[in-house]
Amino acid sequence: MRKKALLCLFTATVIALSQGCHKSENKEIEPTTAWLANTTGLKTTAVGDYGIYRMLSSTGQSAEISAFSQANGGTLRLVNYTGTGHQKWRITDKGDGYFTIMCLASGKYLQAYKHENYDVVIQNSPTNADNQLWRIKTVGTKGFSVFSKVNGLATTANGINPVQLKPYNSGNTLQIWGANALPNEGYRDDEVVRFFQRTKGSISFDQVNSIALKWGANNGKSLWIGEDTYTDNNGGWNPTTKDFPCYGGRNIQFFDVRNSALLQPASKSWDPDQTVNMTTTHSPYKYEILASPDPNNHGGTFSWPGVGIEIGNHVYMYVHEGGGSFNKTVMYDFTESTGTNWG
């Protein structure tokens, strides 16, 4: 049985802190120093090297994005370690002594941020800006201090949520951090997630496959194939709020086409506005590339495309035709063109 999930997409135009910045939230914790001996330390040897780490403070607590946030503005805090993805960090050497620090659970990067009278650490989508670059200075054999490139301030584990940035004091052990190396694992890719948070053409769809293209003008492009699809042609789509209604219960907003395809540019840009819908003359429905096996029963029968391969200027695609008396698998042959309509 195939289950359909309705996505209600929301966009934010400003960063909002998900946790307050009040010094009264926690009392400052007296540091200890024995924790460094039991850490692995950071290990990077060249630009581009990365590792997955747990980051520890001298208080014995670990760095975490608050409230399991996956939103821009989620704040960095210190808690006991439980092993969740919000406590795991992909630290990447960007050269010249600077690093990016990405939360595995959100795919977003630690960023220096000015909130009222405080300099704090939040997470945000990647921007390639200096406020997401961090200088890591070793302290002893395993410890290190972390400085924001944008303001030179050091991350300080002073028991306040969110973690603050303060002037560096070499005698302040609250500004010394340790790291424990963790096995590599998958992470939420924030850019790819936002790529599929679309507001034009195909907006949400079942399953997706990609096919690498190499022929002619399409060399380097990627063809993304989806099944049952909600589009901006759907009567329930609100172009102002950019969402579908969430009725709840048994009342759902039904998708309007049974398949669709997107063409991503050769630049591999993850900007959703750069990837456009493919069209064909095979189906009378806007954005649908394959007609249902019974054109008179579009809702009850379907063509669900799956994996495919390019050979020469042809894309061969596996398709399941079903519904009603239809239940078979077929192979479709698409002849490429230099445009977005492949006939």
Domain final residue pick, 134, 160, 182: 182
Tell me how far apart the alpha carbons of residues 295 and 326 are, in angstroms, rounded to a whole number. Answer: 12
Domain count, the chain: 2
Mean pLDDT by 10 residues, the chain (343 residues): 31 40 43 74 86 93 96 97 97 94 98 95 96 94 95 92 94 94 95 93 93 98 96 90 76 85 96 95 94 92 96 97 94 96 91
What pLDDT, on a 0 to 100 scale, did the predictor assign at position 296? 92
Co-location of 173 and 222 in the same domain: no
* Residue 93 shares a structural domain with residue 147: yes
Domain contains 7: no
Residues 236 and 214 grouped into a single domain: yes
Beta strands at 76-79 and 89-95: parallel, antiparallel or unpaired: unpaired
115 and 218 share a domain? no
Tell me: do 40 and 172 sit in the same domain: yes
Given 148, 182, 216, the domain boundary residue is 182
Do 207 and 319 lie in one domain? The reply is yes
Domain end residue (candidates: 182, 209, 235): 182
Q: Are residues 105 and 39 in the same domain?
A: yes
Query: The pTM is what?
Result: 0.78
What gap in Å lies between CA 45 and CA 284, rounded to an integer?
57
User: Do 257 and 327 belong together in one domain?
Assistant: yes
**Rounded distance between C-alpha atoms, residue 158 and residue 172, angstroms:** 10
The whole-number pLDDT of residue 71 equals 96
Note whether 58 and 174 are same-domain residues. Answer: yes
- Same domain membership, residue 165 and residue 76: yes
Assigned domain for 190 exists: no
CATH number at residue 104: 2.80.10.50
**Domain of residue 252, residue span:** 196-335
Same-domain pairing of 38 and 176: yes
Could you tell me if 256 and 124 lie in one domain?
Answer: no
